[in-house]
Structure 1
Amino acid sequence: MNDVITHWIDGYRRAWDSNAPDDIRALFTEDAEYRTRPHAKPWHGRDEIVAKWIEVGDEPNDYTFEWQPVVVTDDTAVVQAKTDYVDNTYHNLWVIRLAPDGRATSFTEWWMEEPRS
Structure 2
Amino acid sequence: MVQPRPWIEGYVRAWNSNDPDDIAALFTENAVYYAEPYSSPWQGRDAIISEWLARQDKPGEATFEWHPVCVTDDASVIKGVTTYPDKIYSNLWVIRFAPDGRCREFTEWWMLHDVK
- Same fold per superposition (TM over 0.5): yes
- Count of residue pairs the alignment pairs up: 116
Q: Which runs of 5+ in 2 are unaligned?
A: none
Cα distance in 2, alignment partners of residues 65 and 77 from structure 1: 17
Cα distance in 2, alignment partners of residues 58 and 5 from structure 1: 22
CA RMSD of aligned residues (A): 0.9
Deviations 1:5-53 (A, max 9, x none): 1000000001000010000000000000000000011000000000000
> Percent identity, aligned pairs only?
54
Q: Which runs of 5+ in 1 are unaligned?
A: none
Query: SS in structure 2 opposite 1:47?
Result: helix
Residue of structure 2 in register with 1:70 after alignment? 69
Cα distance in 2, alignment partners of residues 32 and 74 from structure 1: 18
Q: TM-score, normalised by structure 1?
A: 0.97
Cα distance in 2, alignment partners of residues 22 and 116 from structure 1: 35
Q: TM-score, normalised by structure 2?
A: 0.97
Residue of structure 1 in register with 2:59 after alignment? 60
Structure 1 residue runs of 4+, over 4 Å off? Answer: none
Q: Which has the higher helix share?
A: 1
